[in-house]
Amino acid sequence: MRTMENKNGQLECVIRTLRECCGVIAARLLSEEEKQMVLDLEKNVEEKIVFGMCKSLNEGMRTALQMEFSVAMVIQSSKFPYPHHPHVSMRCDDQVIGELITDEGMLEELRKNRHNFFLWENFVVYVKRLPKDPAERSKLRIIYPPREAIQLQGLPSVKCSVFGTPSTEGDVLIKRMLDVSVEEGAVGTCLVGFTLAR
């Protein structure tokens, strides 16, 4: 069983590692109350219709906020090492209705099929898979899945980690929590949740 001193040392090491990442403007451990504030905001955002299609579910943020520790960060998007466009999918229960495609060859083939609709350049919606029944259609969700925080890979003090990207509203709240006021679009936010190794 780890001592409190050892735990604090491990925690400080993880936070220092995150602060030292290229492009980090500010990083701070969130309190349980702050984590709840962010979660409540994200849940409210998930009730809104996105892209004129359906509601969303930000599993990445939810998972990061449920971890033992959650660090909020304000980052320069062009410098911070992370996938700028999270892997997103549209699902109805377990069926994929739409997804982000990064393979150019596959995108070309999909564009040739008139039954495919593109929400943006590389996000395809398979129109034939869309549920016809309104009750089923109400289950459609744009899913932002959890991803591993690559910034913490290889740290022996970290048992597991999750990277989450907040909604626009969550971005504003995190900047306010970290007391960072920026107007330029190249400055974003993210959340890294992690559990320390025992």
Average pLDDT across the chain, whole number: 90
**Residue 88 belongs to some domain of the structure:** no
Those residues whose C-beta lies under 8 Å from the C-beta of residue 50, and which sit 6 or more positions away, are 56, 142
**Model's pTM, two decimal places?**
0.86
On whether residue 2 sits in a domain, the answer given is: yes
Interatomic CA distance for residues 116 and 112, integer angstroms: 8
* Structural domain of 152: 1-47+69-82+148-198
pLDDT at 85: 55
Please check whether residue 197 is in contact with residue 159, taking contact to mean a CB–CB distance below 8 angstroms.
yes
Per-residue pLDDT at 160:
94
Cβ–Cβ under 8 Å, residues 140 and 56: no
Q: Which residue has the higher pLDDT, 105 or 102?
A: 105
120 within domain boundaries: no
Question: CA-CA distance, 123 to 106, in Å (whole number)?
Answer: 12
Grouping H, G, I as helix, E, B as strand and the rest as coil, residue 104 is helix
> Is residue 141 one of the residues assigned to a domain?
no
Indicate left, alpha or beta for 154 from its phi (over 0: left) and psi (-120 to 50: alpha): left
With 80 as the cut, is the pLDDT of residue 83 above it? no
Q: What's the pLDDT tens digit per position in 120-143?
A: 889 999 999 999 999 999 999 999
Q: Read off the pLDDT of each residue in 75-104 and give the average, rounded to a whole number.
A: 84
Domain total in the chain: 1
User: Residue 113 falls within a domain, yes or no?
Assistant: no
Read off the amino acid at residue 82: Y
Closest CA to 127 of 113, 138, 139: 113
Work out the burial of residue 13: count CB atoms within 10 Å of its CB; fewer than 13 is exposed, 13-18 middle, 19 or more buried.
middle
